Structures are given as structure tokens and as C-alpha cells.
Structure 1
Amino acid sequence: MEFNMKKEAGFTTNLPYGELHIAGDEEYGFRPYQLMTSSIAVCSGGVLRKILEKKRIAFSDLRIQADVTRNDEKSGRIEKIHLHYIITGEELPLDKIEKSIELARKNCSMLQSVIDSIEVTETFEIK
């Protein structure tokens, strides 16, 4: 990946899906903490989706709410990310969902990359 400085502020990079703008100021692009949080949430959710599909657990929707706790005394360091999965479906087996989330946690490369420096917690609800 190559990042190019923008004249006003921040950087850009070109990826197969398109151009990504990154900056400390939301006026000029996505903020780095937003991208890190998104990477962890979407990686976890993608792995969970695959696990549920492999277990043939029928669901119609999966949403993720991510709450971030940052430490302003340490340059805005991300201290904690809480992921809340909202899974929509009928007669979903709670025990299998819970085990699937545990398995997703172990197999999400982004979460595993930060596991020793950021506290990541998960909860879920069925709709």
C-alpha cells in the first residue's frame, strides 16, 4: 500500500475498490481510529457470518454496533472496543450463536492483532 499526502490535510491511497481518504480531521477523510474500529468490527462480523452459514444457522440480517473508549491522556489511544451483534432470524439457537461468536473471536485476524493492547468485548441480541 502506498499513501500520498493531500495538499490540505491527510493522505490518500488507491485500493482495488477505490480511493481511500484518511486524515485526523473528519472534514478531509476517515479518521484512523474509525478505520481501526471498522476493521475489527467488520472482520469479526464477516467471520461470524461465515461460521453461522457453515453451521447452517438461518438468519436474515447481522448488524454490529461498535462502541469505542479512547484515552485522551495517551494521544487518544483506543483502550476498549465493545461489539454488539444484532442478529435477526427465527428460532435462532442461543447456545450455538454464543459459541459461534467465541469462534469468530479466535479466527478474526484483526481482533487477534490487537488482543494484547485493546480490550475487545462482545455481546449479542436476537431479533
Structure 2
Amino acid sequence: MKFHLKENGMRVDFEYGTLDISGNEDYGFRPFQLMVASIAGCSASVFRKILDKQRTEVENLVITVDVERNPEEANRIERIDLHYTVTGYNLNTDKLNRNLELSRKNCSMVRSVEDSIRITESLEAVELSR
């Protein structure tokens, strides 16, 4: 990766596109947004792969994220709460929770920060009928 200085932040080009990063959201994604997005995105991707392998019939997966920051320590991220809402058919809440625990163990982003940021997960299953 090669990051380039621009007037109001940094820019990096990836295969998928260009990413602008800035402390001012008028000019790019804020670093804390990218940190939270990488944790939620990685966790959700791993969780979804596990559900797909088990042939769990998921119609929708939404993660609501609550972030606590410490303004006395450079606005450090202290806590990230991930709340999963899984909508689908024949959902087993106990099995979903076990799969969520397994996804946590296999998510590189969560594992990278788990000793410095408290990450919690909760789950809600919404059963659809046919």
C-alpha cells in the first residue's frame, strides 16, 4: 500500500477504488470510521461465511454499532458494541450465538484489537414464515 499526502488528508488507491482519509469528514473517511467499519465488516463477513457453510437461510443481516470514545485520551476508541439482527428461516438462536462466538475467534480485525478495545456482540433473530 502506498498512501499519498493531499491537502486535507491522505489518499490510497486499491483495486476496488480510491480511499480518501481525513480527520475532517468533508474530505474523506475519518480514521475512527474506518477502524469501526473494518471490525464490523470483518466480523460480519466471517459470520456470514459460517452461516452459509451451515446452510442457514438468512435473508438479511444488519449490524448496529455503538462506539464509546475517550475524549481525555485523544478520543481513543474504548468500546465497540456490535448488535446483529439476523432475519431468516428456521433460525436457532443458540446455534447463531455459537456461530457468532466462532466468527469472533476467526476475525483478524477483532483479534488484532481485542486487547486494547472492548468489543461486545449481541444477537437478535427475526424469524420469517413461508
Shift of 1:52: 0.6
Question: Secondary structure of 2:57's match?
Answer: coil
CA distance in 2, matches of 1:3, 1:73: 29
- 2:6 counterpart residue number: 6
Shift of 1:97: 0.1
Shift of 1:106: 0.3
- 1:97 counterpart residue number: 96
- 2:105 counterpart residue number: 106
- 1:77 counterpart residue number: 76
**Residues 22-66 of structure 1: per-residue CA shift (max 9 Å, x gap):** 000101100000000000000000000000111111111111111
Shift of 1:91: 2.3
- 1:54 counterpart residue number: 53
Q: Count residues in correspondence.
A: 126
- Could you list the runs of 5+ residues in structure 1 that have no partner in the other structure? none
- Could you list the runs of 5+ residues in structure 2 that have no partner in the other structure? none
Question: Secondary structure of 2:78's match?
Answer: strand
CA distance in 1, matches of 2:90, 2:55: 13
CA distance in 1, matches of 2:95, 2:114: 23
Question: Secondary structure of 1:64's match?
Answer: strand
Decide which structure has greater strand share.
Answer: 2
**Alignment RMSD, CA only?**
0.7
Q: TM-score, normalised by structure 2?
A: 0.95
Question: How high is the sequence identity, in percent, across the aligned residues?
Answer: 52
**Residues 74-125 of structure 1: per-residue CA shift (max 9 Å, x gap):** 0010000000111011220111100000000000000000000000000011
CA distance in 2, matches of 1:63, 1:79: 22
- 1:41 counterpart residue number: 40
Shift of 1:16: 0.5
Amino acid at match of 2:61: L
Question: Secondary structure of 1:16's match?
Answer: coil
